[in-house]
Structure 1
């Protein structure tokens, strides 16, 4: 397939949401599926982006500063029938907003917290409805997703933790044990490293095991990266307070190939890493 034909199939999606983690994580997940992403923190920003390039689809939050979703919708609506000039999926944390928008000509509603597979399915259905095509083929995914696995001598671990002191202690423990360590202190770095650097195990600090948490969304985003789809993810808490058994069970069901530790003690993390490496060696190919 020619590069021109390939580029023509990558639809442009505009994410309009005042929550930076939503813009970042959802944008990265959709990028992994070959879509071109633009993002805006409110309706004013979004209108400026639209002036530069018309989107093929808009993911629209409702409650935003400066210009919220309702005013933004009216700005992109045709005067003769009130329909939006672009396909719109409304992202909302309030089910009452769906009732408010029942007379608006949007393509659907996505409730927060949402499952990425449900979001992706809604995106594909909407694009199929309007353009007769859904997600790009694998040949259309940007080239960086096709990079070959880097060669290395030592096992590699990715540590996702924004706390400088804790992160430093973890890195030192892994390096003293002879392992290669990659660090990520924000969501973008984490998703990028999970796919590009291909760690053997990913360790992630997590505050809460609730599905709406930022860390849960990040883990789901990493699972959408093809080269990290099966990489073990080990979660550890900020302190020493154990998570409830029910929350742990739910996380393990929702995030495949994951584990939850009782603390973020560096020595415990190293031991868990070595256990996973040994288990992988004993598993038949």
Structure 2
């Protein structure tokens, strides 16, 4: 089994990546500091290390330097939330294998891990060529955003599209229902208050049709009278409007990872 190492001072992010990557057949260890990460790297010799750029005491670049002195060819992906171009260039000079902004789709990140692990296996076996069928490509996750607020809907759709998700939008429950019948999404992000058919009404219809996807509810008020009815229909999460996009992304990633929980 291929060994991976996640080094990130954010325990929640470590746990999220550990669950996601373990489900793709990897053995995943985690460290919540740079020093702990270097020690585990020396002990485990992981095929791929996923490394947070910004950590206290010993940041990602310092860890990368230590890794390179120990193994110049090790696969290392840096997760550089808020990184400047200068920091990214420094990482490239240290021969980082790949550099991603934090907040991308987990499918994109898993795909990068697959490619690096495949390359390491080819080098170890002396094989240079590989066919597309030999690489386990993750499926693209599809999201349907349902909100009658055009600006809010379009903003969320663009935000998620830039992070590798396939995103569609609907202006109300009736339009969403038609789109779900055409192609059911993995995740439904659903505003509660809408004309024509509100979020609760749509969830009730979907319950009769055995919709198998996950659901995140958007609510403008915690005391919204529809919210209690919505919770009774089994959504995985409720997010407050206006959305904090980064918090929303973390919730989306957790819901998608735990869709088999």
* TM-score, normalization by structure 2: 0.53
Select 1:107's aligned residue among 94, 97, 105. 97
Matched, 1:39 2:30: yes
How far is the alpha carbon of 1:246 from its aligned partner?
Answer: 1.8
Matched, 1:277 2:193: no
Structure 1 residue aligned with 2:152 = 244
How far is the alpha carbon of 1:233 from its aligned partner?
Answer: 8.8
1:92-171 equivalence runs, <5 A: 92-93=80-81, 94-96=83-85, 97-132=87-122
8 A contact 1:17–1:41 mirrored in 2: yes
Q: What is the CA–CA distance in structure 1 between the aligned matches of 2:65 and 2:189, rounded to whole Å?
A: 46
Structure 2 gaps of 5+ residues are: 123-129, 161-166, 170-184, 212-261
User: What RMSD in Å do the two structures reach over aligned CA positions?
Assistant: 3.8
Q: What is the CA–CA distance in structure 1 between the aligned matches of 2:58 and 2:33, rounded to whole Å?
A: 6
Q: What is the CA–CA distance in structure 2 between the aligned matches of 1:269 and 1:38, rounded to whole Å?
A: 40
Structure 1 residue aligned with 2:259 = none
8 A contact 1:17–1:60 mirrored in 2: yes
Aligned length: 172
Q: What is the CA–CA distance in structure 2 between the aligned matches of 1:246 and 1:27, rounded to whole Å?
A: 31
1:214-272 per-position Cα deviation (integer Å, ceiling 9, x unaligned): xxxxxxxxx98xxxx79x99999xxxx99823235456539644141236xxxx87654
Q: What is the CA–CA distance in structure 1 between the aligned matches of 2:63 and 2:136, rounded to whole Å?
A: 28
1:89-135 per-position Cα deviation (integer Å, ceiling 9, x unaligned): 11112142221123212211112221222212211221122212886
- RCO higher in 1 or 2 (8 Å CA, sep ≥ 6)? 1
8 A contact 2:64–2:96 mirrored in 1: no
Matched, 1:68 2:93: no
8 A contact 1:57–1:87 mirrored in 2: yes
8 A contact 2:192–2:199 mirrored in 1: no
8 A contact 2:50–2:77 mirrored in 1: yes
In structure 2, the residue corresponding to 1:244 is in which secondary structure? helix
Structure 2 residue aligned with 1:59 = 50
How far is the alpha carbon of 1:85 from its aligned partner?
Answer: 5.6
Structure 1 gaps of 5+ residues are: 1-9, 139-222
Matched, 1:48 2:39: yes
In structure 1, the residue corresponding to 2:94 is in which secondary structure? coil
Select 1:258's aligned residue among 188, 197, 200. 188
Structure 1 residue aligned with 2:72 = 84
Q: What is the CA–CA distance in structure 2 between the aligned matches of 1:24 and 1:123, rounded to whole Å?
A: 17
8 A contact 1:59–1:89 mirrored in 2: yes
Q: What is the CA–CA distance in structure 1 between the aligned matches of 2:190 and 2:61, rounded to whole Å?
A: 41
